Structure 1
């Protein structure tokens, strides 16, 4: 995925020539290139930040991102709750927020952001 995204931000690539069998354009450039190149990791960071703004706990955000959880080996050995329902709720809240933003209605976007 990183290569696919990078191939669509050629303005930031220092290549001697086009690579064969690859797309070469700037179709995924954001802000006309003023913000620089972006990567899939930036999407993870943005999603995590949005979840935080929506009131999702930091521990749950870590679980949604499949981070290794801190704590002793004993704790990791004994505590096996998978937080499936909680993660589903966090992802649903993020999805609703993204839907509002993509709809482009600024008033709805303001209402969908908790104070």
Structure 2
């Protein structure tokens, strides 16, 4: 079942509540249902947020502006804190840290991600 974000109209889908194994010890942790975007956040989405809020741009954007050649690509080189700022400043849903970690568990190994300690924005 899809819904549209009332803030930006993006399609979202619920991720049902359940147990998530958290941290190096795989501690069972209950996660409430939350909404997640169907499609990744693009550089165009993030650029609108940067312009509207004066938030810092990803480090690979020359002079703080996204190159046209990657405008429709998923945004990369953002930290968890950058993603949280985007979510609270430009989106209607901010999942808590444990839900974010659950999503990161499905990303490729760190060596194939866009940069050290960096990841794509949670959709």
- Kindly indicate which of the two structures has a greater share of residues assigned to strand: 2
Which structure has the larger Rg over C-alpha atoms? 1
Asked which structure has the greater RCO (Cα within 8 Å, sep 6+), the reply is 2
TM (norm. structure 2) is: 0.25
TM (norm. structure 1) is: 0.26
